[in-house]
Amino acid sequence: MTDSGGPLESELPLVVPAGLHHVAMIMDGNGRWASARGLPRAKGHQEGANTVRELTTALAASGLGQLTLYALSVENHKRRPRTEVDFLLSLLRRFLAKERATIMANDIRFKTIGRIDEFPPKLIREIRELEEISADNRGMILCLALNYGGQSEIADAAKAIAAKVKSGEVSPDAIDEDLLGSHLYDPDMPPLDLMIRTAGEMRVSNFLLWQVSYSEIYVTDSFWPDFHIAGVARAFESYAQRRRRFGGLENRVDARTD
């Protein structure tokens, strides 16, 4: 509470704007957050995991439909030093164990997208287990993108369709946007409404390339560990001002033909 007795901005419940169902976040800036404090990068990732917990719980309570988080890209997995990747995977393992109770208590359905099969077998089992035990939850979907790349996702979908064409199950003429969309990692993923990126870079970095087509984009300079509920509220306010046209015309008087 503030001195005047009112709640702090960070304590206010999040209000989800009309039409906002699926939000994705590029959690960037953990390393810079740590460097700015003279701390090792690992400390930034640890703080980042606390932000994941804080925002997931607040957004689940707000009634948002889906939150998709870019936790590890195929490029991070391939190109970062082994020690950093191992640390990120150990953070993930701890998250899966520690947050299981929070996920169940908040009726959250846990999902993942990405090339999970390239992970160690024990981690794959832990991921699949949390997906299974939370499968009947009806609250917000929390989807972690792990060893994920948008180009890989589209390539993997093309490969799956090619196999079906080869076996005669699918005719080449039947390949269209709907068919490709139904071969992405999660065919049930709802359309993306808003992609939020922290740490200021103006790029999509191979995240949800197919899904971002008509999504709104919001970039904040805050590093991920500094991004809190008040920051999400600002992103939501910005979303509420947008006029989405999906390639058509807005409902304007001058667009009417009658």
Residues forming contacts to ligand FPP in the complex (CB under 6 A) are 27-32, 45, 48-49, 52, 71, 76, 88, 91-92, 95, 144, 199, 224
Nearer to ligand FPP, 100 or 164 (CB): 100
Q: Which of 102, 96, 111, 94 has its CA nearest to residue 60?
A: 102
Q: Catalytic: 76?
A: yes
Q: For ligand FPP, which is the closer residue by CB, 28 or 193?
A: 28
State the nearest-atom distance from the C-beta of 94 to ligand FPP, in Å.
7
Nearer to ligand FPP, 92 or 113 (CB): 92
Contact (CB, 8 A) for 19 and 194: no
User: In angstroms, what is the minimal distance from the CB of 45 to ligand FPP?
Assistant: 5
Residue nearest to ligand FPP (CB): 31
Instruction: Copy the structure tokens of residue 78.
Output: 């391939």
The minimum distance between CB 146 and ligand FPP, in angstroms, equals 8
- Indicate the angle between helix axes 82-98 and 121-133, nearest 10 degrees: 30
Catalytic residue among 3, 50, 76, 106: 76
Classify residue 207 as left (phi > 0), alpha (psi -120 to 50) or beta.
beta
* Active-site choice (28, 106, 147, 193): 28
Q: CA-based Rg of the chain, rounded to a whole angstrom? A: 20
For helices 41-62 and 82-98, angle between their N-to-C axes, nearest 10 degrees: 30
Least distance in angstroms from the C-beta of 107 to ligand FPP: 19
Nearer to ligand FPP, 148 or 183 (CB): 148
Tokens linked to 238: 């910005």
Strands (E), 97-208: 109-113, 141-148, 194-197
By annotation, the residues acting in catalysis are: 28, 76
